[in-house]
C-alpha cells in the first residue's frame, strides 16, 4: 500500500477541512464593522482563514455568537496552511456588569421594605 496522495487530492482535502472548520465556527472577531469567523482559538491567540482575513493589528473584540467574551490587543504573527495566526498582546475577559470601585458591605440590606400596603 502506498502513502502517496496527488497534489490535487491534497488541495481538495485541505479545502474541505477548511470549509468544515468555517461552517462549525461559532466564535467571531469584530474589528470595527467587519466580522471574521475564528477557526482556532488557544490561550495565546487565534487563527483566521487567510482568504478572508487581512493582517489585523490593534484592538478587537471576540464574540461567541452574541455573547461578548473578551477584548484583545492583537498582532498578526504567522501564516501557515491557509490560516493566519494572531497573538494576544493583551486579552481582557468581558464582564456583564461594571466592576465596583468600593468594597461591598456584607451586612448591607438587599432591598427596601416599606410600611405602605401594596395595591
C-alpha cell at 9: 487530492
Of all helices (H) and strands (E), which one includes residue 45?
strand 45-49
∠ at Cα 25 (20, 29), nearest 5°?
A: 135
What is the Cα–Cα distance from 36 to 89, expressed in whole angstroms? 19
Decide if pLDDT at 1 tops 60: no
Q: Does the domain spanning 27-93 belong to CATH 2.40.10.430?
A: yes
pLDDT band for position 60 (cuts 50, 70, 90)? very high
| Domain residue extents for the chain | 27-93
Lowest mean pLDDT across 45-49, 75-79, 88-92, 108-112:
108-112
The arithmetic mean of pLDDT across residues 30-51, rounded, is 89
16 vs 61, higher pLDDT: 61
Q: Is 90 exposed, middle or buried (0-12, 13-18, 19+ CB in 10 A)?
A: exposed
pTM of the prediction? 0.65
Decide if pLDDT at 71 tops 90: yes
Residue 54 Ramachandran class (φ > 0 left, ψ -120 to 50 alpha, else beta): beta
1 vs 119, higher pLDDT: 119
Task: Give residue 70's pLDDT.
Answer: 92
Cross-strand bridge partners of residue 30: 35, 61
Amino acid at each position: 500500500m502506498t502513502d502517496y496522495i496527488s497534489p490535487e487530492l491534497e488541495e481538495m482535502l485541505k479545502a474541505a477541512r477548511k470549509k468544515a472548520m468555517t461552517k462549525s465556527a461559532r466564535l467571531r472577531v469584530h474589528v470595527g464593522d467587519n466580522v471574521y469567523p475564528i477557526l482556532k482559538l488557544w490561550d495565546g491567540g487565534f487563527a483566521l482563514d487567510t482568504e478572508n482575513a487581512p493582517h489585523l493589528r490593534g484592538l478587537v473584540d471576540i464574540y461567541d455568537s452574541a455573547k461578548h467574551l473578551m477584548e484583545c490587543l492583537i498582532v498578526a504573527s504567522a501564516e501557515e496552511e491557509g490560516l493566519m495566526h494572531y497573538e494576544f498582546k493583551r486579552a481582557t475577559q468581558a464582564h456583564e456588569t461594571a466592576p465596583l470601585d468600593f468594597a461591598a458591605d456584607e451586612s448591607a440590606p438587599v432591598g427596601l421594605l416599606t410600611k405602605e400596603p401594596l395595591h
